[in-house]
Amino acid sequence: MQVTATKALIFDFDGLMIDTETPEYQSWLEIYQEHNCELPLAKWCETIGTSHGTFDHYAYLETQLGRALERLSMRDKRRARFAELMNAQSLLLGVEDYICQARQRGLKLGLASSSPYSWISRHLEPLGLLQAFDTIKSADDVERGKPDPALYLAAVQTLGVAPTEAIALEDSPNGVLAAKRAGLFCVAVPNAITRELSFDLADLQVASLAELPLEQLLSLKDNPSCHLEPGLL
């Protein structure tokens, strides 16, 4: 079996680096509950990892109510609650260690997210991590977000590596599908929202990056003597 040494790591953002997804869902769920309506987690998860705007939260609620809503005031209230919930969030376990260890090993770092760049920079700049990446590909750079492979293909092209020379880190099935369609080795790291979903397409699945040191991951991917099987470590 021919082995291709890893030269780059490519991170997803939402739910992988910072859990923006739980506060987003919680803030919307509370709005629905105030109207005695339902926002099933399964419905919400269909669009996790895809481009913003693929699910109309207002229309889905209005359909259940059978009437139109005052969207502007609802938007302001929901955003305020989301901001409150986000204040309690920090980098997820293992993320900063992976970035530091990748730099020490001379690996290139990329970020591929279906969110716009303004959203990514808003959260990473205060943490001093915006400049840690050699490239950031966002919804601003492609016509189609995940599960389309365009973001990953753009990232590896800019980094100057082949897809087989990169590892993708993802928290959603849509993100995993995008990475695999682009030809990358992919590690699934589900969060509190996505952990019940299927990650059958991932090469590995771990509860957090903290439980899989980067050195071990590189050994698993790059060492032909490790007969790697998809699934949980």
The question of whether 222 is a catalytic residue gets the answer: no
Alpha-helical segments (H) within 48-172: 57-65, 71-86, 95-104, 117-124, 150-159
* Residue-wise burial string across 129-161, b where 16 or more C-beta atoms lie within 10 A, e elsewhere: bbebbbbbbbbebbeebbbbbbbbbbbbeebeb
Q: Are 105 and 6 in contact (CB under 8 A)?
A: no
Q: Are 212 and 206 in contact (CB under 8 A)?
A: yes
- In angstroms, rounded to a whole number, what is the distance separating the alpha carbons of residues 175 and 188? 9
State whether residue 101 is helix, strand or coil.
Answer: helix
The question of whether 171 is a catalytic residue gets the answer: no
- In angstroms, rounded to a whole number, what is the distance separating the alpha carbons of residues 48 and 16? 12
Question: Out of 12, 19, 148, 171, which one is annotated catalytic?
Answer: 12
State whether residue 111 is helix, strand or coil.
Answer: strand
- In angstroms, rounded to a whole number, what is the distance separating the alpha carbons of residues 63 and 132? 44
User: What are phi and psi for residue 11, nearest 5 degrees?
Assistant: -90, 140
Catalytic positions, written as ranges: 12, 14
